[in-house]
Amino acid sequence: MRLAEIVRLSAEHLWLVAIAVFAAVVIAAPSAVILTRRPRLRRWTLGVVNVVQTVPSLAVFGFLLPLPFLGGVGKPTAIVALILYALLPILRNMVVGILGVDAGVRESAVAMGMTDGQILWGVELPLAFPTILAGIRIATVTTIGTATIAAAIGGGGLGTFVFRGIAMADTTTILAGAVPAALMAIAADEALGWIERRFSF
C-alpha cells in the first residue's frame, strides 16, 4: 500500500461516484418534471423508488450479479447499483422543489400568459434549484459511502482497501480506504452546500 495506490483508488472512487450521480440526475430530471404533472403516477413511482432505497446496498449488488447485460462482476454492475441509490434523493427533491413553488407565484405566472414551458424554465426550476441541489448533495455524499461496498463485486475504488484490510485483519489498510472516502464526503458536502446557499432566495 503506497501513496500512489491511495491516489489511484481515490480517483477511481470519485469517477464511480461522478458517473453514478450524473446518470441519476439525467434520469431523474425529466422523470421529475413528468411526475409533478401527474399526481397518481407520482405516488406510485416515488413508492417504488422508496422501496428500492430500503434494500441493503450489499444485497442490491448481489441481486444485480446474475442479471444479463447489467450484471456480472465489475464496474458496470457497481455503477447501476449506485445509480439506483442516488436516484431517490435526487428525484424526490426535484419533485418536492417544483411542487413547493408558492401557489401565488405560480398563479401569477399562469395569469400573465406564460406557457407551461416558460413557467417550468423561468419560474419552477429556478425556484426549486436550491432544493434540487440539496438532493444532489445528499445523493453524492451517500454514494461516496455506498461506493466503498462496490469493491465487493469488483467495482474498484477505495472499498478495495477496506475489503483487503478486513481480509488481512489490518486496521491501517482499512483506514487507507475509509479516511480518504470520509474526507471526500466532507469536501463534497461543503462544496455543494456552498453552491446551494449562493442560489437561495
Partner 1 sequence: MAALVEFRAVTYQIGGREILHGIDLCVQESETVALLGRSGSGKTTLLKMVNRLVEPTSGEVRFEGKPVTDWDPIRLRRRMGYVIQEGGLFPHATVAENVGLVPKLEGWPEERIRARTRELLDAMGMPAPVYGSRHPRQLSGGEKQRVGIARALAADPPLLLLDEPFAALDPVTRFEMQQRFARLRRAFGKTALFVTHDIREALMLGTRIALLKEGRLEIVARADEFVQARSPEATAFLATLGEGTLDGSHATG
Q: How far apart are CA 116 and CA 132, in angstroms?
A: 20
CA dist 6 and 158 (Å) reads 8
CA gap 190, 188 in Å, rounded: 5
Q: Give the separation between CA 18 and CA 86, rounded to whole angstroms.
A: 11
**What letter does residue 70 receive in the DSSP assignment?**
T
Shortest distance, position 72 Cβ to partner 1, whole Å: 46
Q: Does the protein bind partner 1 through residue 194 (CB under 8 A)?
A: no
Would you count residue 110 as binding partner 1 (CB under 8 A)?
yes
Of 14-22, 108-116, 132-140, 145-153, the segment contacting partner 1 by CB under 8 A is 108-116
Which one among 3, 4, 112, 167 touches partner 1, defined by CB under 8 A? 112
Indicate whether 105 belongs to the interface with partner 1 (CB under 8 A).
yes
Torsion sign, CA atoms 55, 61, 66, 68: positive
Told to check if 109 binds partner 1 by CB under 8 A, we report yes
- Is residue 114 a contact point for partner 1 (CB under 8 A)? yes
Contact status: 119 vs partner 1 (CB under 8 A): no
- When asked if residue 107 is in the footprint of partner 1 (CB under 8 A), the reply is yes
In the complex, the smallest distance separating the C-beta of residue 39 from partner 1, rounded to whole angstroms, is 17
Q: Of all helices (H) and strands (E), which one includes residue 65?
A: none
Amino acid of residue 168: M
Q: Would you count residue 102 as binding partner 1 (CB under 8 A)?
A: yes
How many other C-beta atoms are found inside a 10 Å radius of the C-beta of residue 77?
A: 23
Residue 98 binds partner 1, judged by CB under 8 A: no
Residues making contact with partner 1 (CB under 8 A): 102, 104-105, 107-115, 118, 123, 126-127, 201
